[in-house]
Amino acid sequence: MTDQRAQDPLGSFLVRSWLPYVGVWTTAGLLAIWLLQSVPSWLMLDGSRVPPARWGVLVGLYCWSVAGSTALIGLVLAGLRKLFNLASAEDVVPANLWSPMLLGTCEALLYPTAFLVGQPEFVGVWLAVKVAGQWNYWTGDYRGRTRFNMFLIGNALSIIVAFLLARIVRSVVFA
C-alpha cells in the first residue's frame, strides 16, 4: 500500500495547510465583527471615513475576503494543476505553495484597498512587477506558458474578488 501523500501531494497540502489557513481567516472575520463593535478614539485613523461602529464589519469583510479568495483561487488552481498535469511531486511541496498563498493574502488586502481609495492603477503596476520578475520562467515550452496562463487566471480571480469586496464595503460600511 502506497502513502496517499506521495500519490497526491497537492491534496495533502490543501487538507493539512490550506484549509486551516482559510479557517483561521474566517474565524478572524467573525471575531472582528463580534468584538470590534466600536473602536477606541486613539485607534481611529486621522481622516478616516469609517464610522467607529463599522470598523469590526470592515475588518471582518477583509478577513472573509482573504478566506474566500484563498479558497476560490486555491480550488481553481488545484483543479487546473490536475487537469493539465502540472502538479509534479517536486513542485507541490509546502515551501513552493506557501509563498504564493501568502503573496495572495497580501494582494487580498491591497487590491480592495486600492479600489476603495480610488487608485485602481496600483493593481496594474503590481501585476507588471510580478510578470516582469518571472518572465524568463514562463517563456519557452508549453509547460511554462500553461503556468503563465494559470498565473493570469489566479490574478484575474483575485482582482474580481477584490473588486467585489470594494463594492460590498462601499455599500455596507460607508452606507
Q: Is 47 left (phi over 0), alpha (psi -120 to 50) or beta?
A: left
Q: Could you write out the DSSP letters of every residue in 15-42?
A: IIIIHHHHHHHHHHHHHHHHH-SS--GG
| Segments forming the whole domain that contains residue 93 | 4-172
Considering only residues 73 and 98, tell me which one the structure prediction assigns the higher pLDDT: 73
Confidence of residue 117 (pLDDT cuts 50, 70, 90): very high
Confidence of residue 44 (pLDDT cuts 50, 70, 90): low
Confidence of residue 3 (pLDDT cuts 50, 70, 90): very low
* Residue 47 pLDDT greater than 60, yes or no: no
* Residue 4 pLDDT greater than 60, yes or no: no
Confidence of residue 43 (pLDDT cuts 50, 70, 90): low
pTM to 2 decimal places: 0.80
Q: Which residues of 7-31 are buried (b: 16+ CB within 10 A; e: fewer)?
A: ebbbbbbbeeebeebbeebbebbee
Whole-angstrom distance, CA of residue 136 vs CA of residue 152: 16
Considering only residues 134 and 13, tell me which one the structure prediction assigns the higher pLDDT: 134
Task: Count the domains in the chain.
Answer: 1
